[in-house]
Amino acid sequence: MGLLTIIKKVKKKEKEMRILMVGLDNAGKTTIVKRINGEDTSSISPTLGFNIKTMQYNSFRLNIWDVGGQKTLRSYWRNYYEQTDGMVWVVDSSDLRRLNDCRHELHGLLKQEKLAGASLLIFANKQDIKGAMTPQEIARVLNLEVMDGSRHWQIIGCSAVTGEGLLAGFDWLVSDIGSRIYMLE
């Protein structure tokens, strides 16, 4: 019995998923994690390093690694790739001047071998802000079509502040990971 088989059996019993939450600083990662977990989002400061949030979602236990996105921290992201089942890439849809940087960082992440099998959810956050780009526009700017067929991915517009779109995104992510790891329908 191979190591992968053992890992799958252990995960199957615990129904646990490891989610890596990444994106540029100020995209809304921590606000999303707190909102989805029903916590207060009124005062959030920049994440220096990382936060781990473990929570029940449907019949799964999610371990969400919320990693700081400041430029000085991005070289450390690779320390969090091990055994990642799903990635949530959060984009500030209203920060047009940093979208090229956002695309560059995302594509760098997608080249990482340790993340090759991970499902990818892209949250086009801050849809509640006037002038925010639509998820379709974000998908075009981020050049997501290069992944067609090579990775399971989905882009969903959301607002971490209002909560709109967050459940749809996590439902897709958990379902996609579940169908790969736990052979769920």
- Catalytic residue IDs: 70
What element of type H or E holds 50? strand 50-57
CA 96 – CA 116 distance, rounded (Å): 28
DSSP state of 75: G
Contact call for residues 153 and 87 (beta carbons, < 8 A): no
Give the Cβ contact number of residue 82 at 10 Å.
10
Helix pair 29-36, 166-181: axis angle to 10 deg: 80
